[in-house]
Amino acid sequence: MNEFELIRTYFAREPVTRPDVALGIGDDAALLRPPPGQQLVVTTDILVSGVHFLPDVDPAALGHKALAVNLSDLAAMGAEPAWFLLNLALPEVDQAWLTRFCQGMFELAHRHGVALVGGDTSRAPQVTIAIEAHGFVPDGKALTRAGARPGDHIYVTGSLGDAGLALKYRLDKLKLTPVELNAVAECLDRPQPRLEEGLVLRDIASSAIDVSDGLVADLGHILERSGVGARVELKRLPLSVIYRAHLKDVGWDLALANGDDYELCFTVPPANLPALEKIKSRFPDMAEIGMIESGSGLRIFDADGKLYAPKAAGHDHFR
Ligand code: ADP
Ligand code: MG
């Protein structure tokens, strides 16, 4: 199978068609029509075998995750996703692998109505996947990392640390029952981007970020960009029943600093708390974990009110 057959077979028969795609895969470039009055939100993320995923990972999970991490960035901006490009480097054409990869990727694309409009395909010594996703946000309405103010309340969606539990299990450093493993593996392999939450938070939150490198690092980015500090209470961290069952062994740091959670961390000014209450019936999984303060840096307090210092600082490729 040559490069062009491969593109035709796997990528040019995508399930999502959109009226704003004037020309998709097949020409030298795609022709796209952003809606008037909206800003184009653009993001990209790279996944490298052996760095971001274990080489024997289920290709369907990989296809899902490669797109999910990009949609999560759009969610954190309060954007509505529209299109994506797929840059794929492979050591060989493994048709069974490609079929599964596309299943995982297109299933998620279909769920959120995002169209694959182009990409590039190459041979490389190891699997590398770079997706670029595009979305829209009404002019001036994007959620950024820079809007947090002292007195704002800090929230996270979902729960933290379950992907970390699954990774620890796969690295043979933690025992889990099959039922526990099933649940946490889903968090690691198929994170669900919080796109609906991002859209409604546009009018409520003062800042937002997705938790990809761990809460300490990612909330840290909000603090730095906003020029503020924060306090967070360990006992308010949203942990799953499974995490709580293993808290004694694994401690707090998988929830604070492992990353790969793809939840949203966001801040809400006091004036917008009633609006947040209103959306809680639709989105009950939003936990308040602390407060923005003046100054700088993050202070984490344990149940006795003592300062807690995490041993890990969050993911950084070049540290
Ligand atoms: P060029 O040589 O001009 O870069 P290509 O032959 O690489 O063109 O690509 C032909 C068409 O196929 C383009 O529309 C391109 O966007 C698309 N394409 C190539 N690889 C992929 C891929 N992995 N996923 C989606 N579309 C792809
Ligand atoms: Mg090309």
Q: What is the mean pLDDT of residues 101-123?
A: 97
Contact 3, 25 (CB under 8 A): no
Q: CA-to-CA distance for 172 and 187, rounded, in angstroms?
A: 18
DSSP state of 258: I
Residue 102 is predicted with a pLDDT of 97
Does the C-beta of 219 come closer than 6 Å to ligand 1?
no
The answer, yes or no, to whether residue 318 has pLDDT greater than 80, is no
The answer, yes or no, to whether residue 243 has pLDDT greater than 80, is yes
The answer, yes or no, to whether residue 267 has pLDDT greater than 80, is yes
Residue 218 is predicted with a pLDDT of 98
Contact 151, 98 (CB under 8 A): no
Residue 33: Cβ within 10 Å count: 11
Protein residue closest via CA to atom 22 of ligand 1: 119
Q: Which CATH superfamily is domain 3-138 in?
A: PurM-like, N-terminal domain (3.30.1330.10)
Q: CA-to-CA distance for 190 and 65, rounded, in angstroms?
A: 6
- pLDDT tens-digit map of 271-298: 999 999 999 999 999 999 999 999 999 9
Q: Pick the range with the lowest mean pLDDT from 7-21, 58-72, 101-115, 244-258.
A: 7-21
The answer, yes or no, to whether residue 15 has pLDDT greater than 90, is no
Q: Class assignment of domain 153-301?
A: alpha beta
Nearest to residue 84, comparing CAs of 52, 108, 54, 51?
A: 108
Percent of the chain at pLDDT exceeding 70: 99
Q: Could you state, in order of their start, the residue ranges of all structural domains in the chain? A: 3-138, 153-301
Nearest to residue 43, comparing CAs of 71, 82, 11?
A: 71
User: Which ligand has the shortest distance to the CA of 2?
Assistant: 1
Protein residue closest via CA to atom 19 of ligand 1: 120
Task: Kindly indicate the confidence band of residue 311, based on its pLDDT and cuts at 50, 70 and 90.
Answer: confident
Q: CA-to-CA distance for 257 and 259, rounded, in angstroms?
A: 6
Nearest to residue 12, comparing CAs of 134, 128, 115?
A: 115
Residue 84 CA to ligand 2 center (angstroms) comes to 15
Residue 63 CA to ligand 1 center (angstroms) comes to 18
User: Which ligand has the shortest distance to the CA of 109?
Assistant: 1
Q: Pick the range with the lowest mean pLDDT from 215-219, 262-266, 313-317.
A: 313-317
Report the SS3 class of residue 315: coil
Residue 163 CA to ligand 1 center (angstroms) comes to 33
Q: CA-to-CA distance for 290 and 267, rounded, in angstroms?
A: 9
Mean pLDDT of the chain: 96
Stretch (H or E) spanning 164: helix 162-170
The answer, yes or no, to whether residue 312 has pLDDT greater than 80, is no
Which residues in the chain belong to E strands, given as ranges?
21-23, 31-32, 38-48, 80-90, 115-123, 128-138, 153-157, 207-210, 229-233, 264-268, 286-293, 297-301, 307-308
User: Which ligand has the shortest distance to the CA of 11?
Assistant: 1
Task: Kindly indicate the confidence band of residue 54, based on its pLDDT and cuts at 50, 70 and 90.
Answer: confident
Task: Kindly indicate the confidence band of residue 116, based on its pLDDT and cuts at 50, 70 and 90.
Answer: very high
**Ligand 1, pocket-test mutation among 10, 25, 84, most atoms within 8 A of CB:** 25
**β-pairing verdict for 297-301 and 229-233:** parallel
Contacts of 284 (CB under 8 A, 6+ apart): none
pTM: 0.96
Residue 319 is predicted with a pLDDT of 67
Residue 85 CA to ligand 1 center (angstroms) comes to 9
